[in-house]
């Protein structure tokens, strides 16, 4: 389907497939009207828009997504005309199905399969050599994008077919990848039990705020938070981690918290341990906390100050038989009105210019790609972790085991 025809079809379809107003708070309703005007013309950036200081997030209730059953990212029979879209996380898969896949299929008639995978460049290398049941479109992290593109695992993107480079924020544009979502790991807490806005220093202070703390089971991210809790400014974190003294300092700080840590492995677990009361505070992706707060009617808070964020990008696998369908999907999901649907469904922020313009204060507060929220966070240094992950993972695993 040509881009103009696809755009026209979306104009007719986008309003009916948006969740009914009863499914969203009244404060969020204006965004639905904004979608109907945003989709009919290209979005222009608004460089003059003031950037306010990022407040602690007030979590609105997003629409409940249509349930989907995650399928493992292993070979499954597929029609050659199908589009296979692979994401990491089951909850994000559900949100993408509701916000993107269902309306895309309704417009184009293209069947879509949605496996999930655990990530890893070796899996992508294997997929690139596969002859049957191949993936078409995959959501990858920054390291996988850089390595896979340099090794020729992905197609070089034809930006003229997917909306143009100028339609996106600059960090979303690369030779092989189109920035899909900003994933932000924040400090989250139960506001009924802790009525203040805690800092990383407070997160470590179990004497002042008794209770367990949730951390992801892995070295990546935890060293950064440990240094910020120890007084290192976000801008100096990776400079500090690049020294042996800085690494020792981060591990010493983790030592202080170790007896009080509840480890989580998946994003859903991060929200669950907070909802269950197992922890008073936890690190957690902002979208997961927003979703759990709505689902379980919890009074959760999270903040973007001193958070860690990274970009996940769409790539088209080299030699994909459905590359044209993949391009249509990228064109469709890059429309500002469609990206706003994902924000409403899951709290995950896309990177189309203008996405955050005109949002209600409640939605703007939870949007990971809101410039105000990005300005007070720290972007994960993919280069640092590419160079140091194997040895630091080994050190962390040994530390955790003792």
Total of domains in the chain: 2
Residue 4 confidence class, pLDDT cut points 50, 70, 90: low
C-alpha span between 65 and 95 (Å, rounded): 6
Is 76 in the same domain as 91? yes
CATH number of the domain where residue 163 is located? 3.40.190.10
Is the predicted pLDDT of residue 45 greater than 90, yes or no?
Answer: no
The stretch 93-116 carries a mean pLDDT of 94
Is 126 in the same domain as 20? yes
Distances (CA, A) of 62 to 29, 38, 189, 215, 249: 11, 20, 19, 25, 40
pLDDT digits (tens, 9 = 90+) for 203-243: 999 999 999 999 999 999 999 999 999 999 999 999 999 99
Is 270 in the same domain as 242? yes
Is the predicted pLDDT of residue 112 greater than 80, yes or no?
Answer: yes
- Sign, CA torsion 67/71/72/74: negative
Domain residues for the domain of 284 are: 184-309+381-400
Structure confidence at residue 396 (pLDDT)? 98
Structure confidence at residue 240 (pLDDT)? 98
Indicate the range of 5-19, 253-267, 302-316 predicted with least confidence. Answer: 5-19
CA proximity to 349, closest of 181, 126, 127: 181
Q: Between 348 and 158, name the one with better pLDDT.
A: 158
- In this structure, are residues 289 and 271 in contact, taking their beta carbons and an 8 Å threshold? yes
Is 323 in the same domain as 390? no
Is 31 in the same domain as 70? yes
Indicate the range of 6-10, 11-15, 29-33, 93-97 predicted with least confidence. Answer: 29-33
Is 166 in the same domain as 205? no
Residue 98 confidence class, pLDDT cut points 50, 70, 90: very high
Is the predicted pLDDT of residue 160 greater than 60, yes or no?
Answer: yes
Structure confidence at residue 127 (pLDDT)? 93
Is 173 in the same domain as 273? no
Is 246 in the same domain as 328? no
Is the predicted pLDDT of residue 265 greater than 50, yes or no?
Answer: yes
pLDDT digits (tens, 9 = 90+) for 290-341: 888 888 899 999 999 999 999 999 999 999 999 999 999 999 999 999 999 9
Q: Between 249 and 22, name the one with better pLDDT.
A: 249
Structure confidence at residue 68 (pLDDT)? 41
Is 178 in the same domain as 325? yes
Structure confidence at residue 7 (pLDDT)? 53
Structure confidence at residue 321 (pLDDT)? 93
The stretch 248-257 carries a mean pLDDT of 98
Is 102 in the same domain as 197? no
Structure confidence at residue 3 (pLDDT)? 54
Is the predicted pLDDT of residue 143 greater than 70, yes or no?
Answer: yes
Is the predicted pLDDT of residue 385 greater than 70, yes or no?
Answer: yes
The stretch 75-102 carries a mean pLDDT of 81
Is 13 in the same domain as 129? yes
Structure confidence at residue 61 (pLDDT)? 38
Is 27 in the same domain as 136? yes
């Amino acid at each position: 389907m040509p881009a103009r025809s696809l755009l026209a079809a979306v104009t007719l379809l986008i309003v009916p497939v948006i969740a009914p107003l009863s499914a969203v708070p009244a404060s969020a309703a204006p965004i639905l009207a904004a979608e109907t005007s945003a989709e009919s013309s290209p979005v222009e950036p608004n460089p003059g828009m003031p950037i306010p200081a990022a407040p602690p997030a007030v979590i609105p209730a997003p629409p409940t997504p249509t349930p989907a059953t995650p399928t493992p990212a292993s070979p499954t029979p597929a029609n050659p005309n199908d589009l296979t879209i692979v994401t990491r996380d089951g909850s994000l898969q559900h949100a993408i199905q509701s916000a993107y896949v269902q309306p895309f299929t309704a417009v184009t008639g293209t069947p879509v399969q949605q496996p999930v995978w655990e990530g890893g460049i070796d899996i992508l290398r294997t997929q690139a050599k596969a002859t049957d049941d191949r993936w078409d479109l995959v959501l990858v992290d920054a390291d996988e994008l850089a390595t896979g593109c340099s090794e020729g695992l992905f197609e070089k993107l034809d930006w003229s077919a997917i909306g143009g480079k100028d339609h996106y924020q600059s960090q979303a544009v690369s030779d092989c990848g189109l920035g899909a979502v900003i994933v932000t790991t924040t400090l989250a807490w139960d506001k009924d039990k802790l009525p203040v806005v805690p800092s990383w220093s407070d997160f470590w202070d179990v004497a002042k705020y008794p209770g367990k703390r949730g951390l992801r089971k892995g070295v990546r991210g935890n060293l950064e938070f440990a240094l910020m809790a120890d007084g290192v400014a976000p801008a100096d974190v990776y400079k500090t981690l690049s020294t042996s003294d800085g690494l020792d300092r981060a591990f010493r700080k983790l030592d202080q918290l170790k007896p009080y840590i509840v480890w989580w492995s998946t994003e859903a677990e991060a929200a669950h341990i907070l909802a269950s009361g197992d922890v008073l505070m936890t690190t957690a992706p902002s979208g997961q906390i927003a979703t759990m707060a709505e689902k379980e009617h919890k009074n959760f808070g999270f903040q973007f100050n001193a958070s860690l964020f990274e970009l996940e990008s769409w790539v088209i696998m080299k030699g994909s038989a459905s590359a044209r369908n993949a391009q249509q999907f990228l064109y469709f999901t890059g429309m500002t009105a469609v990206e706003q649907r994902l924000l409403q469904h899951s709290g995950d922020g896309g990177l189309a210019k203008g996405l955050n313009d005109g949002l209600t204060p409640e939605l703007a507060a939870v949007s990971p790609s809101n410039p105000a929220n990005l300005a007070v966070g720290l972007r994960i240094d993919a280069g640092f972790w590419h160079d140091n992950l194997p040895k630091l993972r080994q050190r962390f695993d040994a530390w955790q085991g003792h």
